[in-house]
Amino acid sequence: MPASALRILYVMDPLARILVDKDTTFAFMLEGEQRGHEQYHCGIEDLFAEQARPVARVRRMHARRADPPHTLHEERTVPLVWFDVVFMRKDPPFDLAYYFATQLLGLVDPRVTFVLNDPRGLREANEKLYALRFPDLVPESLVSAEPARLKAFMESLGGEMIVKPLDGYGGAGVFHLHRADRNLNAILELSTRDATRLVMAQRYLPVVREQGDKRLIVLAGEPLGAVRRIPREDEHRGNIHVGGRVERAPVDARDREICRRMAERLNADGLYFVGLDVIGGLVTEVNVTSPTGVQEIDRLDGVCLEARVLDFVEARAATLDRRAAAH
């Protein structure tokens, strides 16, 4: 391995699930391949610990824009300290398996190996609730399991709102509710599991119909790029996999202001690579587990955001004390 090359581990879903024209992790892999880094893959089920020593069953991998798009080599077992960089890129759900994986990754000495995003930050930052740490940047919000309280909140907003599960992802379980909907009570009972599960309610922002839901990619507190997702006529969700249309979206002054005000907290929590969902200049979610959108922005803007991410990772790796990594 060349002296300047890094050993990089991607903790993620099986490579067979990768969508090569959409997956942000695949873009990172292609950039790492081009730079000559030695790259490996494992799933969260491949992580384990011997005493306080985090270890993984990994396979060397190569990525390319060809068929097949990746090659996996023989499995080997190595301590995580063997890697310069670990990308935690497992897709949601954030379940107990994911939680325990962050606990194992948290055993990694950050002076020796750089983990992106920080496991502690991943545990702290529920993608719905984390935005509430910035109350002046988010729409009016209520977190409750009480249907009556949620309905009262909706009335205070003029009779409509968005309700979403705290552990949801990809737009699953997100409802646009109206006071006149005869299904209102049933939907709130379903969402809250009969008043036993917390949900988030937020003001509905009608500007989403014209301006869409902007995905703002942020690196170390700085905006890298953005893409706009416009809902279908018969949908209120702009998520791409439910038919949202993708449009170019320049980073504007409001985006920079949002990042400026959030940067200190994001960086303190080790949340270096995040995706902010912004509607009408307000942050609705902070995506930290495996934010995507890089390939769409690359194509629309003619840029290479993954190169800037790898630049950042290489700069962080250059500050590590790798003497403890002898294996």
- Active-site entry in 90, 151, 214, 215: 215
- Claim to verify: residue 226 and residue 269 sit in the same structural domain: yes
- Claim to verify: residue 96 and residue 42 sit in the same structural domain: yes
In a domain, 128, yes or no: no
Encoding tokens for residue 14?
Answer: 């099986």
pLDDT: is 231 or 69 the higher one? 69
Model pLDDT, residue 325: 74
- Give catalytic status of residue 128 as yes or no: yes
Encoding tokens for residue 93?
Answer: 């759900």
- Give catalytic status of residue 164 as yes or no: yes
Q: How confident is the model at residue 150 (pLDDT cuts 50, 70, 90)?
A: very high
Closest CA to 89 of 300, 287, 291: 291
Model pLDDT, residue 186: 97
User: What's the CATH number where 193 sits?
Assistant: 3.30.1490.20
Q: How confident is the model at residue 216 (pLDDT cuts 50, 70, 90)?
A: very high
Residues 91-103 pLDDT 10s? 998 999 999 999 9
- Claim to verify: residue 178 and residue 212 sit in the same structural domain: no
Q: How confident is the model at residue 3 (pLDDT cuts 50, 70, 90)?
A: low
- Active-site entry in 7, 89, 90, 128: 128
Model pLDDT, residue 163: 97
- Claim to verify: residue 249 and residue 198 sit in the same structural domain: no
- Give catalytic status of residue 215 as yes or no: yes
- Active-site entry in 229, 296, 308, 314: 229
- Claim to verify: residue 74 and residue 158 sit in the same structural domain: no
In this structure, which amino acid lies at residue 247? E
User: What's the CATH number where 243 sits?
Assistant: 3.30.470.20
Cβ(16)–Cβ(110) below 8 Å: no
Q: How confident is the model at residue 2 (pLDDT cuts 50, 70, 90)?
A: low
Return the number of other C-beta atoms located less than 10 Å from residue 57's C-beta.
14
Which residues, at least 6 apart from 15, have a Cβ–Cβ distance to it below 8 Å?
Answer: 41, 61, 70, 72
- Active-site entry in 151, 237, 269, 308: 237
Encoding tokens for residue 159?
Answer: 């009779």
- Active-site entry in 31, 118, 127, 277: 277
Residues 30-62 pLDDT 10s? 999 999 999 999 999 999 999 999 999 999 999
- Claim to verify: residue 165 and residue 211 sit in the same structural domain: no
Q: Which residues span the domain enclosing 193?
A: 140-203
Model pLDDT, residue 237: 58
* % of the chain at pLDDT higher than 70: 95
Report the distance separating Cα 78 and Cα 74, nearest Å. Answer: 13
- Active-site entry in 117, 287, 296, 308: 287
Model pLDDT, residue 315: 97
- Give catalytic status of residue 287 as yes or no: yes
- Claim to verify: residue 211 and residue 199 sit in the same structural domain: no
Q: What is the mean pLDDT of the chain?
A: 94
- Claim to verify: residue 215 and residue 264 sit in the same structural domain: yes
Return the number of other C-beta atoms located less than 10 Å from residue 83's C-beta.
25
* % of the chain at pLDDT higher than 90: 88
Q: What is the DSSP letter of 327?
A: -
- Give catalytic status of residue 235 as yes or no: no
DSSP secondary structure, 51-96, as one string: TTEEEEEEEEEEE-SSSSSEEEEEEEEEEGGG-SEEEE-PPSP--H
Model pLDDT, residue 231: 77
Q: How confident is the model at residue 317 (pLDDT cuts 50, 70, 90)?
A: very high
In this predicted structure, the answer to whether residue 148 has a pLDDT above a threshold of 70 is yes
Mean pLDDT of 207-227: 95
Residues 226-265 pLDDT 10s? 999 987 766 665 566 556 688 999 999 999 999 999 999 9
- Give catalytic status of residue 214 as yes or no: no
- Active-site entry in 89, 90, 164, 203: 164
- Give catalytic status of residue 229 as yes or no: yes
Report the distance separating Cα 34 and Cα 64, nearest Å. Answer: 9
In a domain, 60, yes or no: yes
- Claim to verify: residue 213 and residue 185 sit in the same structural domain: no
- Active-site entry in 23, 285, 298, 314: 285
Q: How confident is the model at residue 180 (pLDDT cuts 50, 70, 90)?
A: very high
In a domain, 235, yes or no: yes
> pTM value?
0.94
Model pLDDT, residue 35: 97
Model pLDDT, residue 239: 64
How many independent structural domains does the chain possess? 3
Model pLDDT, residue 235: 64
Return the number of other C-beta atoms located less than 10 Å from residue 175's C-beta.
21
